[in-house]
């Protein structure tokens, strides 16, 4: 079934401009004699009839799209309504209501309540993206993995240093990890973030905090970084490739603090002859980064056309030498 929003947008464009490149959504107008096909263009011939049709069939659809976009803006979400405007608006209104009361909700129970189908939200990309964007912003889903070698107390008495010593790591549900006011970060003077899980599990610090930052999911690690003491030194151990630099830049934005990327330029220059050639279609582009450190590293990557994965660095140096190079 054709999406009503795309159909209405195509019809409205034809109404406003009088002609439009041919697309499937305009075929019913051509068949009804309201417009005619001229080569690769559709030309409007009955403006009054089309205006009446748009008024009766499209006003509510476009109004729902506009209201949904207003809610998206007010909620600070990063979503574009390209389909399902009525359902998107209903979902946004419910999420907005739950945000006001800080009510968590599981996607399937919400989907069942709104659409009488537990998988409806997951089935349509625009609805799924709205929910995912909202839930990540409120930390409704996911977890934060940390390891601590300095005292880091939770208000209820737990010390993440002791949990790390006993169990190897602490895995904290996102909603609880987001309540940073419940954690005492005052003893943390050094923090290391890692992009991949293997280095997170293998590296052993003498003091400080180690945070696992999985890919582009930077909001929760960024929140912890933001709440660490100002004098705390931060190093991010990432893949030296275009995505690795973007992930670091996202953490810089989320944390609003200064950090250092490893492998840094001296390390890369020292091991230049042992680095693998970068053959992927996505190239290093210094202009796509905002921070000077990322621009400098991307420029070096572009000039030398090589990359370095964390696992390769770990294998080459070993965990102890990696820690020595970082700290």
User: Residue 10's domain spans which residues?
Assistant: 4-57
pLDDT tens series, the chain, 327 aa: 467 898 999 999 999 999 999 999 999 999 999 999 999 999 999 999 999 999 999 999 999 999 999 998 888 788 889 899 999 999 999 998 887 665 667 888 899 999 999 999 999 999 999 998 887 766 666 789 999 999 999 999 899 999 999 999 999 988 889 889 999 999 999 999 999 999 999 999 999 999 999 877 788 899 999 999 999 999 999 999 999 999 999 999 889 999 999 999 999 999 999 999 998 878 899 998 989 999 999 999 999 999 999 999 999 999 999 999 998
62 lies in some domain: no
Residue 64 belongs to some domain of the structure: no
Q: Are residues 53 and 127 in the same domain?
A: no
The answer to whether residues 94 and 44 belong to one domain is: no
CATH of the domain at 160: 3.40.1360.10
Considering the domain architecture, whether residues 116 and 175 belong to the same structural domain is answered as no
Those residues whose C-beta lies under 8 Å from the C-beta of residue 38, and which sit 6 or more positions away, are 19
Residue 69 lies in a domain: no
Quick one: 170 and 48 in the same domain? no
Number of domains in the chain: 3
pLDDT of 140: 60
> How far is it, in rounded angstroms, from Cα 87 to Cα 96?
14
pLDDT at 1: 45
At residue 327, the pLDDT reads: 86
Do both 38 and 125 map to the same domain?
no
Q: What predicted TM-score, i.e. pTM, was given to this entire model?
A: 0.65
Q: Output the pLDDT for position 313.
A: 96
* 232 shares a domain with 113: no
Last residue of a domain, one of 93, 110, 137: 137
In a domain, 152, yes or no: yes
Among residues 117, 137, 157, the one where a domain terminates is: 137
- Tell me whether residue 63 is in a domain: no
Do 190 and 47 share a structural domain? Answer: no
Question: Does 121 lie in the same domain as 244?
Answer: no
| Rounded Cα gap, residues 185 and 181, in angstroms | 9
The DSSP call for residue 13 is H
Distance between CA atoms of residues 314 and 293, nearest Å = 23
pLDDT, residue 203, reads 97
Question: What are the DSSP calls for 101-138, one per residue?
Answer: HT----HHHHHHHHHS-TTHHHHSHHHHHHHHHHHHHT
């Amino acid at each position: 079934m054709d999406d009503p929003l795309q159909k209405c947008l195509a019809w409205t464009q034809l109404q406003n401009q009088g002609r439009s490149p041919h697309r499937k959504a305009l075929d019913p107008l051509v068949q009804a004699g309201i417009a005619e096909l001229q080569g690769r263009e559709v030309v409007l011939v009955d403006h009054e009839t089309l205006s009446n049709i748009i008024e009766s069939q499209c006003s509510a659809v476009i109004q729902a799209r506009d209201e949904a976009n207003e809610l998206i803006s007010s909620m600070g979400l990063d979503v574009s309504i390209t389909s399902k405007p009525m359902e998107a608006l209903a979902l946004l209104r419910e999420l907005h209501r739950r945000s006001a009361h800080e009510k968590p909700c599981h996607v399937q129970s919400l989907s069942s309540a709104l659409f009488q189908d537990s998988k409806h939200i997951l089935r349509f990309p625009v609805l799924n993206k709205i929910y995912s964007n909202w839930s990540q912003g409120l930390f409704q889903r996911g977890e934060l993995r940390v390891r601590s070698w300095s005292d880091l107390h939770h208000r209820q008495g737990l010390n993440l240093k002791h949990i790390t010593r006993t169990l190897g790591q602490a895995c904290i549900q996102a909603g609880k990890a987001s309540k940073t006011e419940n954690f005492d970060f005052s003893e943390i003077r050094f923090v290391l973030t890692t992009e991949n899980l293997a280095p997170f599990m293998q590296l052993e610090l003498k003091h400080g905090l180690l945070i696992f930052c999985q890919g582009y999911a930077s909001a929760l690690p960024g929140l912890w970084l933001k709440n660490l003491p100002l004098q705390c030194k931060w190093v991010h151990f990432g893949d030296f490739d275009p995505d690795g630099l973007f992930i670091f830049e996202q953490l810089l934005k989320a944390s609003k603090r200064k950090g250092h990327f490893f492998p840094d330029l001296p390390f890369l220059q020292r091991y230049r002859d042992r680095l693998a050639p970068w053959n992927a279609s996505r190239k290093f582009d210094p202009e796509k980064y905002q921070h000077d450190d990322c621009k400098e590293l991307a420029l070096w990557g572009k000039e030398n056309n090589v990359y370095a994965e964390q696992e390769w660095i770990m294998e080459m140096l070993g965990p102890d030498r990696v820690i020595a190079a970082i700290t």
